[in-house]
Chain A
């Protein structure tokens, strides 16, 4: 069944979209949606890493007494002296449940040792790895993502090998600044992420508490890595003053300029091809259904609760990201 997931008309009525924020090549359009009223537990408190039971087998646990945890798509764990792992898909984890995911991928090729439950800090796979990781879900081969990680390292100017920590850990001081350069707003439940002039992803969470806990992994390590690649590639333009003769005119011109920039974001959305998604149900939990959505330009997963969209993590495919231009948004 085909379904158009991404709304292609920018609604600025403030009921769904917040004011856009820009940090270098990244632009974020905050989303505000209805709260799920405690039905879903946030990922940091609702999902605990129980450990790795052999390479590629990650065991997760939902210790809460109530509330379903939706695994954030492509979450991963990094620990010292252990082989870091990431998951290829989302899933439901009911209260008290413990599940072993046997299709996880190792993201640190030459490191031995198993992850333990001691550290629960998690990341989301960088944007450029998400399509491949989703395609490889269900395949039980822990080294399956190494070639893509190697390619990502190469395009970032790092040593070409299957070690994601070269990006996540060594670039961390720069990447973690994205969570302050772009600010999470009170009550925010999702966001549209643009890298350069392209829509790079749509992230929707069931609650503000959920989105707060998935915000740093998303903005820093998923979309932040893609933005970091473009940082410094565009020559800084000289500051262009407004042609205003007094403060009143200056204020008017600032407002007009902002309208232009909003229009620009509107245009980016308009230019986003109207994707048709093939959706495939992956699993269900009571009335909730987890689907994989595959389109020409975007792939991802989403959850519906009684037909209502409660979670979505849909990212641009690699070929769609190739035409990104940042010159268009640099002042």
Chain B
């Protein structure tokens, strides 16, 4: 079941979870990161997609630093102009977003790796010479900046520029050609370079630091209600709970439709076929104050998914009809086979995770799919009551990729990753389109000070 989009999704997960620092040790010639081979492999497979992964939502700065290093350190000789431009755009976004100290570490790493490609040198010079906190960096990290400049320009050229700047305006063409053409404010750079080589006065910074990336992430801890009830897990599920409790009427049904339409306006769209296995077995009814919560959120997900993909096949486990009361045991294995018969691009199992007919069959069937010639990915989507549900006994197929939702706000991320899992070429196309749009919107949000 392994394919390109599956690997890319796993890589995206890695980018959002692995907090291992990006380190350059004095004794080593390359950065010491356990996942360096992983980054290299993904870069080799598809450099543009790899780069776009770096600007994915929730990608960790430590991982963005690795990506930046990869983009700077690798040659682009055989890449098309379009891809080179894409890599440059992502490089600009990463340079703007990352903490300057981290960027300097990446620059030092590229120096240590002796990576002095044209794009590397340009990126270093544009970053250093135009940085809003250039004076501060020059004061605090003088030797590092000198190292980076000399790496980008060449030692002799850098020192010659510094000497010419210190001596006045003689050889100004030389300085302009090699150094100042990358700077938006040449006079400011003259002062800084002079100071870096102890040929001028100490520097004072008046600039404020600017970051390009929005930091808001949906569903922060503060947004989660202190007490979770049947009706504060999103409007769609809240209305469906009332329907399930026996209060079905025209007003509630119309409200469900309206809430679904409102929700889908901000959700990703997928130009492919999804097979949804909807667990409506007896256990999804729940009990006590949580009665009908699980099935309502699962149904809400189904209604939203219907609007977000080109074609949806629903295979229901237990119950009957569109909004049937939960009933019956849970046979997910047969449902997976039924779903695959519809030849979808991806199969989503939405369930509370309690498989009982016969337990273990789902794991066996999913593990058998590659040898049976099936490349369609199967993704398990946990329908939970709250974010803190214990899933220990609710993982019927441990090898299957898992997504989780308990609140309507989780749908966007779950759908995004679900569509990204789709088999080639639909999954990759979705990823490129979504991440490409994100790049454009980041560029629109704020013009980077690095850009030409």
Binding site for B on A (CB under 8 A): 18-24, 173, 177, 179-186, 216, 239-247, 249-251, 253-254, 257-258, 261, 331
Contact = CB atoms under 8 A, between A and B. Distances in A.
Say which size band chain B's interface belongs to: 35 or more
Nearest to B318: A183
| Most chain A CB neighbours (cut-off 10 Å) among B287, B360, B374 | B360
B364 A241 contact: yes
Interface stretch (B54-62, B66-74, B151-159, B350-358): B350-358
Given A183-B356, A239-B367, A245-B371, 5 more contacts: A18-B329, A21-B359, A239-B398, A247-B337, A254-B365
Nearest to B337: A251
B364 A331 contact: yes
B427 to A, nearest CB: 21
A216 B282 CA distance: 13
A24 B373 CA distance: 31
B195 interface: no
Given A20-B358, A258-B361, A180 B399 contact: no
A183 B358 contact: no
B337 A261 contact: no
A19 B357 contact: yes
B64 interface: no
A261 B282 CA distance: 23
Given A240-B364, A250-B365, A257-B361, A22 B372 contact: no
Most buried by A among B287, B357, B368: B368
28 contacts: A19-B329, A20-B357, A21-B356, A21-B359, A22-B357, A22-B359, A23-B359, A24-B359, A181-B393, A182-B356, A183-B281, A183-B282, A183-B329, A186-B328, A240-B367, A241-B368, A242-B368, A244-B372, A245-B373, A246-B373, A247-B341, A247-B374, A249-B372, A250-B365, A254-B334, A254-B364, A258-B361, A331-B364
Chain B contact residues: over half helix, strand or loop, or mixed?
loop
Interface of B: 281-283, 286-287, 327-330, 333-334, 337, 340-341, 352, 354, 356-361, 363-365, 367-369, 371-374, 390, 393, 398-399
A185 B327 contact: yes
Contacts of A184: 282
A184 B361 CA distance: 20
Contacts of B372: 242, 244-247, 249-250
B357 A180 contact: no
B313 to A, nearest CB: 15
Given A173-B390, A245-B373, A254 B333 contact: yes
Contacts of A180: 283, 286, 352, 354
Contact of A21 (B357, B363, B367): B357
A240 B281 CA distance: 26
A258 B356 CA distance: 12
B399 A239 contact: yes
Nearest to B327: A186
Contacts of A242: 364-365, 368, 372
A294 B202 CA distance: 98
A325 to B, nearest CB: 17
B351 to A, nearest CB: 11
A24 B393 CA distance: 9
